[in-house]
A and B are shown apart, each in its own frame.
Chain A
Amino acid sequence: MNNPPGDAAYEPRLYRAPVSILWWLRRRSYFFFVLRELSSVFVAWSVVFLLLLIRAVGRGGGQYRDFLDWSATAWVIILNLVTLGFLVLHAITWFNLTPAAMVLRLRGQRVPPAAIAGSAYLAWVVVSAFVVWIVMRR
């Protein structure tokens, strides 16, 4: 690479157009794609948050109360609101992609993509309702 231009060995075979590090800001679809990929960071944070809650519950009333107080501080609420936004983005993009990733056939007929995506959304609603029920029931 450092050979002078006159050198016979200096013969680039491939030209690669330089791409800016901010390539993903150039189009809305690129930006959206990066947002979707970044949702994974908030997926990881949700797991950490959940495990902190479970650890506090295991350590008894004092720790559980401390966790509730901490989770009610402004920055944690803001972080979790942003997290919720990214999680919903993740869920919607994920369920919308299920028909592309999963081709089902029933009696020789291809199940319409909308039906597959629809069942994914239905599963989301049922699972969410079930979680609310087991957490909130007395």
Chain B
Amino acid sequence: MGRRTMEPFLWLLFSAGGVLSALLLPVLVFLFGVAMPIGWIAAPGLDHLRGLIDNPLTSLVVLALSVLSLFHWAQRFRYTLIDGLKLKDHHRLINVSCYTVTLVGSVAAAVVLWQVR
């Protein structure tokens, strides 16, 4: 029963994560994952990036982006496993695993952002 009443809340987190990841992740992965490694643009200096992350607003946005994106992942991935691979019998295990990964990842994100400051 408990899980049933959680569903609307989880869908809300899923949607928030969907919006934030769609708005922010393509440009970030393009810059740091493709354009800079290939050498299209020069990587910014350490001090500049440090200054960015030192801004509390940046930390807050990155934390929200990380946590909500992970909830977004959990919602889609568990349904992909349950429906896509026909693992309905194991839905409890799948749900618990996905949200455990999400919670561990969220704590890890908070720790990383905390240590940088």
A-side interface residues toward B, CB under 8 Å? Answer: 19, 21, 24, 34, 37-41, 43-44, 46-51, 53-55, 57-58, 60-61, 64, 68, 71-72, 76-77, 80-81, 83-84, 87-88, 90-91, 94-95, 101, 123-124, 127-128, 131-132, 134-136, 138
- Asked if A71 and B53 make an inter-chain contact with CB atoms under 8 angstroms apart, the answer reads no
Q: Mark B75-117, 1 if CB is under 8 A from A, else 0.
A: 1110110001110000000000000000001001100110110
In the assembled complex, B8 has its CB within 8 A of some CB on chain A:
no
Question: How many pairs, one residue from A and one from B, have CB atoms within 8 Å of each other in the complex?
Answer: 150
Main secondary structure of the interface of B (DSSP, over half): helix
Contact of B84 among A37, A68, A83 (CB under 8 A): A37
B-side interface residues toward A, CB under 8 Å? Answer: 15, 17-19, 21-34, 36-38, 41, 43-44, 46, 48-50, 52-53, 62, 65-66, 69-70, 72-73, 75-77, 79-80, 84-86, 105, 108-109, 112-113, 115-116
Give the 10 A-B CB pairs with smallest separation, nearest first.
A80-B33, A58-B116, A40-B76, A91-B22, A128-B27, A44-B73, A72-B37, A40-B73, A37-B80, A94-B22
Residues of A within 8 A of B109 (CB): 47, 51
Least CB distance from A40 to B in Å reads 4
Main secondary structure of the interface of A (DSSP, over half): helix
